Amino acid sequence: MAVKQTSKKVASQASDVLQDGRTADDSKTAGGSALNQRQSGHSTSDAAASTSSDVLRDDDTSTKSKASAGSAVAQHEPDK
């Protein structure tokens, strides 16, 4: 399977999310996970994927947070 990684654009957005003091912890978890996968080849943990999924469903979450969360969820490889 091809290695998935966070795009440069989404990594920049994730960095913004992490630096914004108004950002909720769940969004920071998603941003951190997405940023960690910029060039590492790691996959998203079950816990971070679940949190990222919550971020995607939250209507009050910013576009940058949702982009980070979407990237993190896309890179989740559940145990089989």
In terms of C-beta density within 10 A (0-12 exposed, 13-18 middle, 19 or more buried), how is residue 9 classed? exposed
> Residue 78's pLDDT is what?
80
Structure tokens at 12: 């920049």
Listed by start position, the domains of the chain span 8-74
Q: pTM here?
A: 0.88
User: Does pLDDT of 2 surpass 90?
Assistant: no
Q: What does the pLDDT look like over 11-56, one tens digit per residue?
A: 999 999 999 999 999 999 999 999 998 888 788 999 999 999 999 9
CA angle 71, 25, 17 (to 5 degrees): 55
